[in-house]
A = this chain, B = another copy of it.
Amino acid sequence: MEEVFGVQQKLNGDTSQEIYDQISSHLKEPEFQPRALFDKFNIEVLCTTDAATDTLKSHQKIRESGWDGKILPTFRPDSVVDINSHSWNSEIEKLSELSDIFIESFSTYIDALVIRREFFRSMGATATDMAATGIIPQELSKVEVERIFQSALKGNVAEEDAISFKSHMILESARMSLDDGLVMQLHVGSRRNHNPELFSKFGPDRGADIPVKAEFTKSLSLLLEKFGTSPKFLLIVFSLDESAYSRELAPLAGHYPALKLGPPWWFHDSINGMRRYFDRVMETAGLYNTVGFNDDTRAFPSIPARHDVWRRASANWLAGLVVRGIVDGEDAEEMILDLAYNLAKKAYRL
């Protein structure tokens, strides 16, 4: 508010209208247009999240516009993986069209995904993203996966088959990442659309997504058995269940070279959330098994503030280690740069 929009007054009922007007008026000025803010914020890379069936025309347009801001897509396959969603069959049609592959079997489906991933990569994508709450990666036999896929094509999928299919697809996605080098991200722990009235009036993503308990040690076991020590693979995991930090996530990230921890996310992307993350994760996982900080905001003007909070929280944590003689000044200088910038850049292969 203060640094981007110059708000000096205290936020409260008396000042709200004036501040609203001030921000509104700024947003119409040329220097508050997205590209101007992008430059002002000194953003090096901004990644969007795009459905596997997105044409990426907006990305194409940006490229053709001559603007040199680096805006990259991220491959999000949920809409073509959630086979019991109403839109799955039409999504598969789109996927078929865009990949120029007639999808009539699981193997042609995988071929089409490989082609889409390649297209995303050609447009600069370096990562994928999947929601995986309550999903345990598991391998299906070829016969079984084909049976389920055919039933999905016919629009007739049992709930448990849909879950098995997603479980299997997490492994397939990891396999594809191993081939094409796209970093794999899993977001775990949110129960979506907790407030049905809000959902029916305004749709998804309105703030009514509430965390639930998460489990990683057993759930990630097969995925890590298969790919956890592969030097070419990188899996970044985000959690909304802080009780898993020191119990499961830090030990797993400390052990498997291919696993790194994403920063504290969503409700925990805050001063206290970051402090707890440093406290519970770093000793066991090690700083270099985390990815530093990437914000995942939908609020563009919030980007500087979010990185600022992370950098202050990082500096505060690190200063505590220096003051207590656990880290020396030389290492701290390197670590603070890694926390603020290098780790995220390296993890996302930017």
A→B interface (CB under 8 Å): 10, 189, 191, 194-197, 207-208, 210-213, 215, 217-218, 221, 224-225, 228-229, 240-243, 246-248, 250-252, 255-256, 267-268, 270-273, 276, 279-280, 283-284, 326, 328, 330
Contacts and interface: CB of A to CB of B under 8 A. Distances in A.
A57 to B, nearest CB: 35
A39 B124 CA distance: 63
Contacts of A246: 242, 267-268, 273, 276
A270 B242 CA distance: 19
Contacts of A215: 212-213
Contacts of A242: 243, 246-247
A9 to B, nearest CB: 12
A283 B213 CA distance: 20
Contact of A211 (B191, B247, B326): B247
Residue of A194, A247, A280, A326 with most partner-chain B CB within 10 A:
A247
A230 to B, nearest CB: 11
A196 B210 CA distance: 35
Nearest to A10: B328
B255 A283 contact: no
5 contacts: A210-B217, A210-B252, A243-B243, A267-B284, A276-B279
A147 to B, nearest CB: 28
A255 B210 contact: yes
A255 B207 contact: yes
Given A191-B217, A211-B247, A273-B283, 12 more contacts: A189-B247, A191-B221, A194-B221, A195-B225, A207-B255, A212-B218, A213-B215, A241-B247, A242-B243, A246-B267, A270-B284, A272-B283
**Max chain B Cβ within 10 angstroms of own Cβ: one of A241, A246, A252, A256:** A246
Contacts of A208: 255
